[in-house]
Amino acid sequence: MKTEKEMVELIKFNEEGYINEGEKAYARRGEIERLAEELAKKDYKNVYLLGIGGTEFSFEPFAYLANKKSRLDFIQLNAGTLTVAWPKHLNENSLVITSSISGTTLEAVEAVKILMKKNIDVVAFAPRDTALAETASKVIELELGENGGIEHVTMLLTFLIYGFLHFRGEFADYPKYSDQINNIFRELVDIRKAFERRADEIAQKTYNAPYTIFTGSGSLWGETMMFSMCFLEEMQWVRTRPCRADQFFHGTLELVEKGVPVFIIKSEDEYRSIDTRVENFCKKIQAEYYVIDPAEFSISGLDEQFRELVSHWIVCAMLSDRLSAYYERYTKHNMNYRRYYRQFEY
Amino acid sequence: MKTEKEMVELIKFNEEGYINEGEKAYARRGEIERLAEELAKKDYKNVYLLGIGGTEFSFEPFAYLANKKSRLDFIQLNAGTLTVAWPKHLNENSLVITSSISGTTLEAVEAVKILMKKNIDVVAFAPRDTALAETASKVIELELGENGGIEHVTMLLTFLIYGFLHFRGEFADYPKYSDQINNIFRELVDIRKAFERRADEIAQKTYNAPYTIFTGSGSLWGETMMFSMCFLEEMQWVRTRPCRADQFFHGTLELVEKGVPVFIIKSEDEYRSIDTRVENFCKKIQAEYYVIDPAEFSISGLDEQFRELVSHWIVCAMLSDRLSAYYERYTKHNMNYRRYYRQFEY
């Protein structure tokens, strides 16, 4: 007899492809750690995480979490702004890390050209033979398939960024952490299955709302923006209002009313109490709210101390993967259709 | 015969009160500069600007502009987060500046108590005999009237923050700048008059929109948030989507369509080209867009080099003062009415 989990069918998801590509990503561990070790020997004064759009948001949890562990500052940098305003502490003592799944993101390529001219080290995650790969000083080749790109890049970033901290002496337990996540993609499949029916229910109730509020904080603010901005706004044309949980009570709260769903993305880090305050408020006024809480889900074999490092991964699977698939089902709006983005020059 | 400007009647605005209180604010210059000079003698390693809600946003332009001039980092700090996550570089070598027009903002008072226990210097702008004034190590007493509080505090912050930079040797022309803004409130009255009819027209067209996009950047991002979040969301219950201009093209652009107004707040600093890109896009697709451009307005006697320092002041007068008055006229929603904020415990 099949267990309930085995009977859940994940829509729009290639389990085998996702697992296979995930294993390939994990297999890059040694190669990327060697680069991390080499980088850790240099006396960098800070680290800039350069991206735009989805990449910018996928760097957010790393910036947040690495800042807690490291003496160095990890600073988010929007690639589109480098040509207009030079960041105060960016110079030849900086390390820049960037990533582009397409390898062609215009703003990123332009930014890296400028950085190279200034002799600033740039490590780029990009597919071979793309403009970005040909521009950066060091390249980690992306060989992504069609199944779960964002989450697989998260694995590669984990090896590079936390590996870098480890070799700097700032993350002693990193090898243990890296060992413990070797099976995480299977775990994330099971989490998907556990969440699938709820994703369906939530999407049915919310897909047609005229306006939807999202709150997030700490290491999950990036995923909050990723889902509300990249997936719902860009790919689903859904009107959202992403709002930092620590700002919610100074403006956006007054918009909560019947017919306005509020998504509360609950972190597993220091900010959790701030997210909970939003939740308690919504409960009190009987708002239509949905708590997205990665803490609900277990990851077999993972130490408690590492939970905060994986919670953004779990939320990515829940929202940007599962919930967006159901939004698409109900809105009938093709995720790949754009009216403006990259459709003409602007 | 009256000139056209003299015939414009500003609704919901006490010109005499605004000018008188503005003169009182300017008269504090010597007192505040003495404090700035004293602070500049200490060897602070960074400056935190502590606020929440409107105060947080009113600090934004100062953080942005002071960061350009100073070797020190000026860092925004949300008062509500201090109890959960300690900022990496905040310690007894930091200077904290905070402000509360009421002097009772709960989060700010709690945060300052914690800072005082850790022997961190806190300069607070607050009315006499309030909780905040009684907690901070140094107090600049606010004696604000009912007319134009935000803009008058901007003057006091100017004396403190740019004065501090001056005495640190990082803003040589500060005395000239301070001299040249001695008449700025009269200038801001005339700018109001020049903008009044347009404010009326814009509000008539937009007050009833189901959802309104705002973009801003650089030194004007704070005012973009101030108007869209504090005024329209909190005080007018208008659904807004504030979006940083450098992120607009990676999500929010796909939401632009008939019936969705886009406000483009154009800065006079490095970011102007990014704002202009949003404007050009909106023009190209024939969106319903409104350009709020402080550069349109002259300030008599002000050197060109100081323009970027006053543009947030101009935008504050245009949006948070004038446009919000007309929103209120058309929505008929009392600006002082709240359903949740400070109405009960949450």
Q: How many CB pairs under 8 A join A and B?
A: 142
| CB-CB under 8 Å, A237 with B85 | no
3-class DSSP assignment, residue B88: coil
Q: Residue B3: its pLDDT value, please?
A: 63
pLDDT class for B7, splitting at 50, 70, 90? confident
Q: Which of A45, A250, A343 to mutate to test the interface with B (most CBs of B within 10 A)?
A: A250
**Arithmetic mean of pLDDT over chain B:** 95
Q: What is the pLDDT of residues B58-100, one digit of tens each?
A: 999 999 999 999 999 999 999 989 989 999 999 999 999 999 9
Question: How close, in Å, is residue B81 to chain A by CA atoms?
Answer: 7
Q: What confidence score (pLDDT) does residue B53 get?
A: 86
Residue of B50, B254, B262 best to disrupt the A interface, most CBs of A under 10 A: B254
Across the range B111-116, mean pLDDT stands at 96
**In chain B, which residues have their Cβ closer than 8 Å to the Cβ of A338?**
254
- Please tell me the predicted confidence (pLDDT) of residue B342: 85
Place of tokens 């307005």: B297
Closest CA to B316 of B248, B182, B219, B179: B219
Which residue blocks in chain B are alpha helix, DSSP H? Answer: 4-7, 15-26, 29-41, 54-69, 106-117, 131-135, 149-157, 163-167, 174-180, 184-206, 221-225, 236, 272-284, 307-315, 324-331
- CA A255, A259, A264, A265 torsion-angle sign: negative
pLDDT at site A144 = 78
pLDDT exceeds cutoff 70 at B1: no
* Chain A, window 200-229: residues with a beta carbon less than 8 angstroms from a chain B beta carbon: 210-211, 218, 229
Q: Does A251 touch chain B (CB under 8 A)?
A: yes
Residue B201 has a pLDDT of 98
* Partner B contacted by A237 (CB < 8 A): yes
d(CA A311, CA A266): 9
Distance CA A334, CA A228 (A): 16
Q: Tell me: the pLDDT tens digits for A131-147?
A: 999 999 999 999 877 88
Q: In terms of CA atoms, which chain B residue is nearest residue A232?
A: B251
Instruction: Note which residues in 269-298 of chain A have CB less than 8 A from chain B.
Output: 269-271, 273-274, 277, 280-281, 284-285
Among B237, B250, B274, select the one facing A255 at the smallest CB separation. B237
Q: Is B54 on the interface with A (CB under 8 A)?
A: yes
Are A233 and B255 an interchain contact pair (Cβ–Cβ within 8 Å)? yes
Specify whether the CB–CB gap between B35 and B161 falls below 8 A. Answer: no
CATH value of B4-180 in 3.90.650.10, 3.10.20.600, 3.40.50.10490, 3.40.50.10790: 3.40.50.10490
Check if B69 contacts A (Cβ < 8 Å): no
For residue B126, what are its two tokens?
Answer: 């607050």
CB contact under 8 A, B249 and A84: no
Of A81, A240, A340, the CB nearest to B253: A340
What integer is the mean pLDDT of B306-324? 97
Q: What is the pLDDT of residue B115?
A: 97
Check if B250 contacts A (Cβ < 8 Å). yes
In this predicted structure, what is the pLDDT of residue A147? 85
Contacts with B230 from chain A: Cβ below 8 Å: 250-251
- Which residue among B56, B241, B251 places its CB closest to the CB of A234? B251
Walk along chain A (346 residues) in steps of 10 and give the mean pLDDT of each run. 72 96 96 98 98 93 97 95 93 97 90 96 96 95 84 96 98 98 97 98 98 98 98 98 96 97 97 97 97 98 97 98 98 94 89
Query: With bands split at pLDDT 50, 70 and 90, how would you rate the model's confidence at B105?
Result: confident
Residues B255, A277: C-beta atoms closer than 8 Å: no
The pLDDT score that the predictor gives to residue B286 is 97
Residues of A in contact with B218 (CB under 8 A): 85
Confidence (pLDDT) at A287: 97
B234 touches chain A (CB under 8 A): yes
Fold match flag (A4-180 vs A184-331): yes
Q: Helix, strand, or coil here: B296?
A: helix
Q: Are B274 and A346 in contact (CB < 8 Å)? A: no
Model pLDDT, residue B63: 98
* Helices marked H in A149-271: 149-157, 163-167, 174-180, 184-206, 221-225, 236
Residues of B in contact with A81 (CB under 8 A): 246, 271, 274
- On whether any CB of chain B is under 8 Å from the CB of A246, the answer is yes
Q: Supply B168's token pair.
A: 């640190």
Read off the pLDDT of residues B201-239 as tens digits, 9 standing for 90 and up: 999 999 999 999 999 999 999 999 999 999 999 999 999
Q: Which fold has domain A184-331?
A: Rossmann fold (3.40.50)
Q: Domain residues of chain B, as ranges? A: 4-180, 184-331
Torsion, CA B326, CA B329, CA B330, CA B334, rounded to 10: 110
Residue B106: pLDDT band by 50, 70, 90 thresholds? confident
Nearest CA in chain B to A238: B255
ipTM of the complex: 0.95
Write out chain A residues lying below 8 Å of B229, CB-based: 247, 250-252
Q: Which of A254, A264, A345 to mutate against chain B (most B CBs within 10 Å)? A: A254
A chain contacts of residue B250, beta-carbon cutoff 8 Å: 52-54, 56, 229-230, 234, 341
- Please state, in angstroms and rounded to a whole number, the distance separating the CA atoms of residues A251 and A266: 20
The number of beta carbons lying within 10 Å of the beta carbon of residue B216 is 32
Which of A68, A80, A253 is nearest residue B274 as measured by Cβ atoms? A80
